[in-house]
Structure 1
């Protein structure tokens, strides 16, 4: 019998489950798992001699038996200035180019963790297939890292997903299941498949290993800035996987005395689908009654009912941050503006730059992520 070195735990019910189990959610409330795991401090001077992948921060990551087998050298993406501080204008803005990942999106940070864990389960005969659901980028990342690990993958996507993303997923050998309906209908179909015996649900929402991958985004900022963090970290939020990973990293760095202050987390949603922004500005701790969404260019964050909503709202408030929303016209113009600066980013990935352009940035350094390559979707019409 395998001995789990970490455990899943429900943040609501405090029910625990070994990570070697295929139970993808809390059996009581059906909510997503967190990971009961204590990180160790990362030595900044030691990083100079380490390899360029997420595993350079191995002290901060859950133990992974098969990390070397699945890495594609993800991480260590460039940080480039977009707006320089000037006299009388003390704010500066830099972009972290997470679209320069092996599958051209930040989702590789979490997918490599899921693939390493899935390979562990497969090698010990606990799982024989991997199921994921996605609006495109997460599915592509799971398919790519699944291929790297030699795993059979089934990816559920909404009908109408970008043909270029579907081509990418299929190129990696994964089977695509197109679901009639919206993103939530797709997630329901995948969860039904995940309940079948021998299935590992590689969910970027429900499985906390994904969040421990995305937290390396902030560890990289900390390293790049010489042991400090920016004053403000802006992130796009649909299911909140990048934001919650960032919050994890911030708390770990504070706990280990590696930083002294907590950056403000500013969450960005498309105005057309912004349930979290509405709840935040209403002072609510949970989502209210469902708000009908409208079509948006930012398809990757068009999530009407994110399962981790309570955690997302709490994380933003804990840092003194806020929620911003952007219009479709602002998204279009932000994409074109970045392209004129030499950065071709997909429409979801430009949401944060659109928000910063519309609202003057706070004093100090603000960092925005550019999360997906424009080649995945093309220029927004």
Structure 2
């Protein structure tokens, strides 16, 4: 039986398209798609009765029917870092990063569409996730990565059977190359930025927090932001759970001080973010100089009564070491939120509130940040 796929809608101009035939971006403005979907707040949400994966939240997800693609992703634990702050260990996902949440959704969509091949672009973690889930779904996959991408991550992609195409230049150059391939016939562009199904995968991060805390959410959820896929997924879940009577948390977004277009725009009171230079930073996973969903990200943080914080490489390095000495070895990007709100932060942005911070990627992927020369 073929199940319907919710269609796409553009937040900027209202354009709509069928997910089975749509181009990868809005044909009118070239921007990313949103999904024409909202779960029924009256539908039964009983995750304990579901499978041991993020598909346990099926009544809140946009895909119906049998889910063939899974690696038992999700259900990552919450562990205390302090009396009022917990860490969610998404680096324990099957490919060692939170990107599995969105990748499994896109792989399932692609499986249902049956393309000749899947293409993606990534600075590392999204690429490893897509490679693994395409392998699981029996799909041919090509990942475009910028030069300088961690050798451990490209090795992981190739091990899953993906073709890895290294593109000269930075993250945006890899995206441009992938989008060129995405325009070819028979290609599904598994974009964690432009395809909204990815966001409905990452929103399960917050549903799991809600489940683990007995039907409540903390006062603050802290999220690292580059392209904003985790933050926008979190915002979706917060809004959906609010319709079920759950008190919404404040969202605090964290960027690298070296590449912080969203933080700069937020504090300037702007509705959109201008591009900034691509400077080197330890937090490479959030070093996005021109996020396509900038307007949505800024609006989501403001709606949640939140703010943006920035962290230096020195703070990230200290936070990575602090976490490792607590038994949690994560990659530098994953330490950014703890750098922003943990004991080494210059002030107390949490102001005594309860909070959850994500630890999104395993230290085994990159190793320990080297000290400054």
**2:291 maps to which of 285, 306, 313:** 306
**1:287 maps to which of 261, 273, 283:** 273
Judging changes above 3 Å, is the alpha-carbon distance between structure 1 residues 252 and 137 closer, same or farther for their aligned structure 2 residues?
A: same
Judging changes above 3 Å, is the alpha-carbon distance between structure 1 residues 111 and 209 closer, same or farther for their aligned structure 2 residues?
A: same
**1:207 maps to which of 195, 198, 203:** 195
Cα displacement (A) at 1:56:
0.5
**1:210-245 deviation digits (Å, cap 9, x = unpaired):** 000000000001000111100000000000000000
**1:377 maps to which of 359, 366, 373:** 366
Structure 1 position 367 matched with structure 2 position 356: yes
Gaps of 5+ in 2: none
- The answer on whether the counterparts of 1:265 and 1:316 sit within 8 Å (CA) in structure 2 is yes
- The answer on whether the counterparts of 2:5 and 2:20 sit within 8 Å (CA) in structure 1 is no
**1:183-214 deviation digits (Å, cap 9, x = unpaired):** 01111111111001111000000000000000
Structure 1 position 57 matched with structure 2 position 57: yes
Name the counterpart of 2:97. 105
Name the counterpart of 1:9. 9
**2:310 maps to which of 308, 313, 325:** 325
Name the counterpart of 1:235. 223
Q: Please, what TM-score do these two structures have when normalized by structure 2?
A: 0.95
CA-atom RMSD in angstroms: 1.4
Distance in 2 between residues matched to 1:216 and 1:9, nearest whole Å: 21
- The answer on whether the counterparts of 2:58 and 2:64 sit within 8 Å (CA) in structure 1 is no
Cα displacement (A) at 1:66:
5.3
Distance in 2 between residues matched to 1:177 and 1:362, nearest whole Å: 46
Aligned residues: 365
**2:117 maps to which of 129, 135, 145:** 129
Distance in 2 between residues matched to 1:284 and 1:148, nearest whole Å: 42
Judging changes above 3 Å, is the alpha-carbon distance between structure 1 residues 173 and 47 closer, same or farther for their aligned structure 2 residues?
A: same
Cα displacement (A) at 1:43:
4.2
Gaps of 5+ in 1: 85-91
Name the counterpart of 1:83. 82
Structure 1 position 255 matched with structure 2 position 243: yes
Name the counterpart of 1:349. 334
Cα displacement (A) at 1:40:
2.5
Name the counterpart of 2:109. 117
Cα displacement (A) at 1:346:
0.3
**1:140 maps to which of 112, 116, 128:** 128
Name the counterpart of 2:256. 270
Structure 1 position 160 matched with structure 2 position 159: no
Q: Please, what TM-score do these two structures have when normalized by structure 1?
A: 0.93
- The answer on whether the counterparts of 2:90 and 2:96 sit within 8 Å (CA) in structure 1 is yes
**2:87 maps to which of 95, 101, 104:** 95
Cα displacement (A) at 1:58:
0.3
Judging changes above 3 Å, is the alpha-carbon distance between structure 1 residues 36 and 54 closer, same or farther for their aligned structure 2 residues?
A: same
**1:272-298 deviation digits (Å, cap 9, x = unpaired):** 00000000000000113x322320001
Distance in 2 between residues matched to 1:64 and 1:199, nearest whole Å: 23
Between 141-150 and 247-256, the greater mean CA deviation after superposition: 247-256
